[in-house]
Amino acid sequence: MTIIAEDTKAYYNQCIADGFVYECACGEMFRTIDHAATCRKCRNYTWAGYCTHVTDVRTGAVVDGRRPTEEEDRAAEAAYNARIAEEQAEWEADQAAAREEADWAAEALLWDIQDRLNN
């Protein structure tokens, strides 16, 4: 049996009382299975990048999709980390190119000013 902290129990009880009984993979609460299954926050808050499963918090049963196995979760985490590293490298390359372009523009401006002063 999973031990849940008292404040977490109170949170879930309030969600249920408010009609938010479906939890997507990232933990966001929804009123309908369809809305939970198409959660956009999962893109940022899960390794998979999409909602893998929806749980009915009243029963704890998975009502849409399936929970990933530990192996699938580790593979998704590795793929996520690889994507992040690739995006970071791309961002750094873009920043270096932008700095180089700015340096070139500044140098060209200085040459232009010098040419104007010499004429």
Query: In this predicted model, what pLDDT tens digit does every residue of 56-86 receive, in sequence order?
Result: 999 999 999 999 999 999 999 999 999 999 9
- Per residue in 83-101, pLDDT (tens digit) is 999 999 999 999 999 999 9
Tell which residue, 37, 14, 9, 12, has the closest CA to residue 24.
37
Would you call 46 exposed, middle or buried from its count of C-beta atoms within 10 A (0-12, 13-18, 19+)?
A: buried
Using only C-alpha atoms, the chain has a radius of gyration, in whole angstroms, of: 25
Q: What are residue 23's phi and psi, to 5 degrees?
A: -110, 125
